[in-house]
């Protein structure tokens, strides 16, 4: 179970770090997508920083279970909020990737809990 947890956690950390980097650097395509769901320019780097911190926590959590559990649980909540935001404004193209990341975060959380 631990090997699966490491693989899923590493992939989640990579995906969220890339997403966080794109938010912090204000990738125009990503910023436009965030504007659709009501995120103002002021909060784009904040969301990116949260993703980068979570990615770091997920990576550290491979070796220290409490941090990994906390980081992946926060990712589940983060992506749940993002999913609600996309559904609220009927941004259907954004629902799939967001739901996928939420489910991937939940899988990482379950695997980390089972291997702790």
Does the pTM surpass 0.75? The reply is: yes
Looking up tokens 């770091």 gives 56
- Look at residue 1 in the predicted model and tell me its pLDDT: 85
Q: pLDDT per position in the chain (116 positions), as tens?
A: 899 999 999 999 999 999 999 999 999 998 988 999 999 999 999 999 999 999 999 999 999 999 999 999 999 999 999 999 999 999 999 999 999 999 999 999 999 999 97
Query: In the chain, where does DSSP find H-type helix?
Result: 2-24, 28-36, 44-60, 65-88, 92-115
């Amino acid at each position: 179970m631990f090997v699966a947890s490491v693989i899923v956690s590493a992939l989640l950390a990579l995906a969220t770090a890339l997403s966080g980097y794109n938010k912090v650097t204000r990738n125009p395509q990503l910023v436009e997508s965030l504007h659709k769901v009501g995120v103002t320019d002021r909060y784009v780097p904040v969301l990116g920083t949260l993703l980068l911190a979570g990615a770091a926590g997920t990576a550290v959590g491979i070796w220290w279970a409490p941090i990994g559990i906390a980081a992946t649980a926060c990712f589940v909540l983060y992506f749940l909020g993002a999913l609600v935001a996309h559904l609220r404004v009927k941004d259907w193209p954004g629902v799939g990737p967001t739901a996928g990341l939420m489910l991937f975060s939940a899988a990482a959380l379950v695997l980390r809990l089972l291997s702790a």
